[in-house]
Amino acid sequence: MVRRTSNRKEKMTGWLAAVLITAVLMACLMVTGIMASEKDRMPDLEAGAQGSLKVTMTYTDPNLETDNVKVMPDVQVKLACVASLEVNGGSADYTLLDAYQSTGIELTGMTAADSHTAAERLVPLTVAGDVVTGTTAHDGTVTFQGLEPGMYLVFQDAEANTAYRVDAIATFLVPVPYPLQSEGGNAWEYEVGVQPKTELPGPRNNGVIRVTKQLFNTETQLAYNPPENEELVFYVGLFMDEACTVRAAGTTDLPLRFLNSDTAEAVFENLETDATYYIAETDGNGTVVPSALKGEDVLFEALYPQGQTVSITRQAPEGAITFQNATTGLPFGYYYGGTLTITKKTVMDGVDYETDDTFYAGLFTDENFRTRYGDVIELKMDGSSSFSVPLEVNIGTSENDSATYYVTETDKNGRPIGAGGQEFTMSVNKAGGKVTLSPAEPDDEVVITNSFTEAGSEITEISTENVEVGSSNSNGNLQNPRTGDSTPLLKYVLLMAAALGVLLGGLRFRRRYRR
The DSSP result for 275-311, as a single string, is EEEEEEEE-SSS-B-SEEEETTTEEEEEE-TT-SEEE
Q: Please give the helix or strand (H or E) that residue 113 lies within, else none.
A: helix 112-122
pTM for the full predicted model: 0.52
The pLDDT value recorded for residue 29 is 35
The pLDDT value recorded for residue 301 is 86
CB 209 within 8 A of CB 277: yes
Topology annotation, domain 337-452: Immunoglobulin-like (2.60.40)
Provide φ and ψ at 155, rounded to 5°: -155, 175
CB 369 within 8 A of CB 415: no
The separation between CA 170 and the C-alpha centre of its own chain, rounded to angstroms, equals 26
CB 70 within 8 A of CB 56: no
Tell me the CATH number of domain 51-194, given options 3.40.50.970, 2.70.50.60, 3.40.309.10, 2.60.40.10: 2.60.40.10
Three-state SS for 265? strand
Q: Give the CA angle between residues 309, 310, 314 to the nearest 5°.
A: 150
CATH 2.60.40.10 positions along the chain are 51-194
Secondary-structure class of domain 207-327 per CATH: mainly beta
Which regions of the chain are under pLDDT 50? 1-36, 293-298, 420, 422, 456-487, 509, 512-513, 515
CB 244 within 8 A of CB 237: yes
In the DSSP assignment, the letter for residue 1 is -
Q: Which of 45, 86, 84 is nearest to 186 (CA)?
A: 45
Provide φ and ψ at 27, rounded to 5°: -65, -40
Rounded alpha-carbon distances, angstroms, from residue 177 to 49, 150, 155, 446: 9, 7, 18, 65
CB 317 within 8 A of CB 310: no
CATH 2.60.40.1140 positions along the chain are 207-327
Q: Give the CA angle between residues 439, 441, 443 to the nearest 5°.
A: 105
- Other Cβ atoms within 10 Å of 457 Cβ, number: 13
The pLDDT value recorded for residue 496 is 59
CB 442 within 8 A of CB 337: yes
- The amino acid sitting at 513 is Y
Three-state SS letters, 29-92: HHHHHHHHHHHHCCCCCCCCCCEEEEEECEEECCCCCCCCEEECCCCEEEEEEEEEEEEECCEE
Question: What does the DSSP assignment read for 327-367?
Answer: ESSPPTT-BEEEEEEEEEEEEETTEE--B--EEEEEEESST
The backbone region for 374, taken as left when phi is positive above 0, alpha when psi lies in -120 to 50, beta otherwise, is left
- Cβ-based burial of 194 (10 A; exposed 0-12, middle 13-18, buried ≥19): middle
Three-state SS for 211? strand
| Structure confidence by residue, pLDDT tens digits, 379-401 | 999 999 999 999 999 999 999 99
Terminal-residue alpha carbon distance, the chain: 193
| Structure confidence by residue, pLDDT tens digits, 346-358 | 998 889 989 998 9
